[in-house]
Chain A
Amino acid sequence: MNSEPMDDQTPSESTGGGQPDVSYPLAVNGVRYPVSAPSGALLLDVIRDHVGLTGTKQGCDDCECGACMVLVDGRPVNSCSYLAAQAQGRAVTTVEGLAGAVDLSPLQQLLLDAGGVQCGFCTPGMLMSARALLDSNPEPSDEEVRIGLSGNLCRCTGYDTIVAAVLQAAEHIDATEV
Chain B
Amino acid sequence: MNNPAAADTASYNAAPFTIADNVDTALAAMAAGARPIAGGTDLVVGARQGKSPLPTMLVAIDRVPGLAEVRVDEERVVLGSAVTHARLMTDEIVVGDYTALADAAALVGSPATRNVGTLGGNVMNGSPAMDTGAPLVVLGAMIELTSQNGVRLLSPAELWTGPGTTAATSDELCTACILPGRPERSGSAYVRLEYRRAMEIAVVGASASVRLDDSGHLEHLSVALTAVAPTIVEVHSLEELVGRPVDERLLTDVARIASSQAQPISDLRAGADYRSHTVGVMARRAVDAGARRAAGQHIAVPVNRAEGVGRTEQR
Where the two chains meet, the residues of A that have a C-beta atom closer than 8 Å to any C-beta of B are 12, 14-20, 22, 39-40, 42, 61-64, 66, 69, 75-78, 81-83, 85-86, 88-89, 129, 132-133, 142, 147-148, 150-152, 160
Contact flags B241-275 to A (C-beta < 8 A → 1, else 0): 00000000000000000000000000000000000
Query: Judging by beta carbons under 8 Å apart, are A40 and B49 in contact?
Result: no
6 smallest beta-carbon distances between A and B, as pairs: A151-B110, A16-B53, A150-B198, A39-B17, A39-B16, A15-B54
30 residue pairs of the A-B complex, CB under 8 angstroms, read A12-B54, A14-B47, A14-B48, A15-B44, A15-B47, A16-B47, A22-B17, A39-B17, A39-B56, A39-B58, A61-B48, A62-B48, A63-B113, A66-B112, A75-B115, A76-B112, A81-B45, A82-B44, A82-B116, A83-B44, A83-B58, A85-B17, A86-B37, A86-B62, A129-B111, A142-B315, A150-B110, A150-B197, A151-B112, A152-B110
Q: A17-B53, A85-B17, A85-B60 are in contact. Are A129 and B112 (CB under 8 A)?
A: yes
* Least Cβ–Cβ distance between A50 and chain B, in angstroms: 16
Q: Which residues of A contact B41 (CB under 8 A)?
A: 63, 78, 81
Chain B, range 39-68, C-beta contacts under 8 Å to A: 39-41, 44-45, 47-49, 52-54, 56, 58, 60, 62
Q: On chain B, which size bracket covers the interface?
A: 20 to 34
At the interface, yes or no: B19 with Cβ under 8 Å from chain A?
yes
At the interface, yes or no: B109 with Cβ under 8 Å from chain A?
yes
Q: A39-B16, A40-B54, A86-B40 are in contact. Are A62 and B111 (CB under 8 A)?
A: no
Query: Judging by beta carbons under 8 Å apart, are A148 and B44 in contact?
Result: no
Query: Judging by beta carbons under 8 Å apart, are A77 and B115 in contact?
Result: yes
A-B contact sample (4 more), CB < 8 A, given A16-B54, A129-B112: A14-B47, A39-B56, A78-B112, A81-B48
At the interface, yes or no: B167 with Cβ under 8 Å from chain A?
no
CA distance A42 to B52 in the complex (A): 16
Count: A-B pairs, CB below 8 Å: 105
At the interface, yes or no: B238 with Cβ under 8 Å from chain A?
no
Highest count of chain B CB atoms <10 Å: which of A82, A89, A133, A160 = A82
Query: Judging by beta carbons under 8 Å apart, are B116 and A150 in contact?
Result: no
* Least Cβ–Cβ distance between A43 and chain B, in angstroms: 10
Chain B, range 71-127, C-beta contacts under 8 Å to A: 86, 109-113, 115-116
At the interface, yes or no: B199 with Cβ under 8 Å from chain A?
yes
Q: Which residues of A contact B45 (CB under 8 A)?
A: 62-63, 81
Query: Judging by beta carbons under 8 Å apart, are A148 and B19 in contact?
Result: no
Q: A150-B111, A151-B111 are in contact. Are A15 and B53 (CB under 8 A)?
A: yes
* Least Cβ–Cβ distance between B113 and chain A, in angstroms: 7
Query: Judging by beta carbons under 8 Å apart, are B111 and A148 in contact?
Result: yes
CA distance A129 to B111 in the complex (A): 8
CA distance A89 to B63 in the complex (A): 11
CA distance A152 to B52 in the complex (A): 27
Closest to A65 in B: B199
Q: Which residues of A contact B47 (CB under 8 A)?
A: 14-16, 40
* Least Cβ–Cβ distance between B201 and chain A, in angstroms: 11
Q: Which residues of A contact B86 (CB under 8 A)?
A: 75
* Least Cβ–Cβ distance between A78 and chain B, in angstroms: 5
Closest to A132 in B: B111
* Least Cβ–Cβ distance between A172 and chain B, in angstroms: 21
CA distance A83 to B43 in the complex (A): 10
CA distance A9 to B217 in the complex (A): 65
* Least Cβ–Cβ distance between B42 and chain A, in angstroms: 9
CA distance A17 to B16 in the complex (A): 13
Q: Which residues of B contact A89 (CB under 8 A)?
A: 19
